[in-house]
């Protein structure tokens, strides 16, 4: 199987050489745990070291802010502008969102994709599926069996599932970042995407004595021997270093 290397120091060997090609990976963590930096390195290293095109969809930071932050970590996105596209779409619905991604994909034929964050992308889901949701009820003969939370989960599931399938169709190995509450028992903010993706990585800060330490855990990685360890990492001026 082909592996897509992140090029992040110390990371690829934890997952058998890289992400399985065409897989979808959920990268979850509370704010400040390094999700955006990890994702930026994945896209940048792909272009610089493996000659692979990438699209970074930034739904939080604007393009210029993202580039400036990246530069502080030695990531010069302008130097790979022929292979990397950063977009920060401001859209109404998932259909438009996908259209924008496909337009960019036609330009650079990406092998890598980042959606930062899936939590924000999901804001688009309800407006797309509220109509479909009603159809869904009608198909079931209007049986009033759906309580709002269940319907909500079904909508989110469908939207995420569609997104995952579309990105695979484009030929991408994708990272979706997800916000996570510090005390959450789930692996994602939406509590369903961890079941739909091929891999899940959790980034955390834990207290060891009176010192905070960054750690990562690989919760799931399809087609890969499960790594059971908790791995310490640092964020340095050269990016993420897994110990």
Ligand X SMILES: Nc1ncnc2c1ncn2[C@@H]1O[C@H](COP(=O)(O)OP(=O)(O)O)[C@@H](O)[C@H]1O
For ligand X, the binding residues (CB under 6 A) are 29, 31-37, 72-73, 235-237
CA distances from 121 to 35, 159, 233, 243 (A): 15, 10, 28, 32
Instruction: Give the containing element (helix H, strand E) for 150.
Output: helix 148-170
> CA-to-CA distance for 191 and 11, rounded, in angstroms?
25
Binding site for Mg ion (CB under 5 A): 36
Report strand pairing: 199-208 vs 24-29.
Answer: parallel
Minimum separation from the CB atom of position 237 to Mg ion (A) = 18
Q: What, of Mg ion, ligand X, none, does residue 6 touch, CB below 5 to 8 Å by kind?
A: none
How many residues belong to the chain?
Answer: 243
Which CB, 36 or 193, lies closer to Mg ion?
A: 36
The distance of closest approach from Cβ of residue 171 to ligand X in the complex, given in angstroms and rounded to an integer, is 26
Please state the closest distance from residue 243 (CB atom) to ligand X, in A: 15
Nearer to ligand X, 145 or 208 (CB): 208
**Residue 73's binding partner out of Mg ion, ligand X, none, with CB under 5 to 8 Å set by partner kind:** ligand X
Shortest distance in whole angstroms from residue 134 CB to Mg ion = 35
**Which residues, at least 6 apart from 52, have a Cβ–Cβ distance to it below 8 Å?**
4, 46, 83, 110, 111, 112
């Amino acid at each position: 199987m082909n592996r897509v290397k992140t090029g992040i120091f110390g990371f690829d060997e934890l997952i058998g050489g890289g992400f399985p090609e065409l897989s979808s990976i959920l990268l979850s963590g509370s704010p400040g745990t390094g999700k955006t930096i990890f994702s930026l390195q994945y896209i940048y290293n792909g272009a610089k070291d493996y000659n692979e095109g990438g699209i970074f969809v930034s739904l939080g930071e604007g393009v210029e802010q993202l580039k400036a932050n990246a530069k502080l970590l030695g990531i010069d996105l302008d130097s790979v502008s022929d292979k990397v596209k950063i977009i920060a779409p401001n859209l109404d619905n998932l259909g438009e969102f996908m259209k924008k991604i496909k337009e960019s994909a036609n330009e650079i034929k990406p092998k890598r994709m980042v959606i930062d964050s899936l939590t924000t992308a999901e804001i688009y889901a309800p407006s797309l599926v509220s109509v479909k949701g009603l159809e869904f009820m009608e198909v079931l003969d209007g049986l009033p069996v759906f309580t709002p939370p269940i319907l909500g989960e079904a909508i989110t599931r469908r939207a995420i599932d569609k997104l995952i399938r579309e990105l695979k169709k484009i030929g991408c190995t994708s990272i979706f970042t997800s916000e996570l509450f510090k005390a959450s028992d789930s692996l994602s903010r939406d509590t369903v995407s961890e079941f739909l993706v091929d891999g899940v990585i959790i980034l955390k800060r834990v207290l060891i004595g009176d010192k905070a330490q960054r750690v990562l855990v690989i919760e799931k990685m399809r087609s890969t021997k499960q790594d059971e360890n908790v791995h310490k990492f640092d964020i340095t001026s050269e990016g993420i270093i897994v110990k």
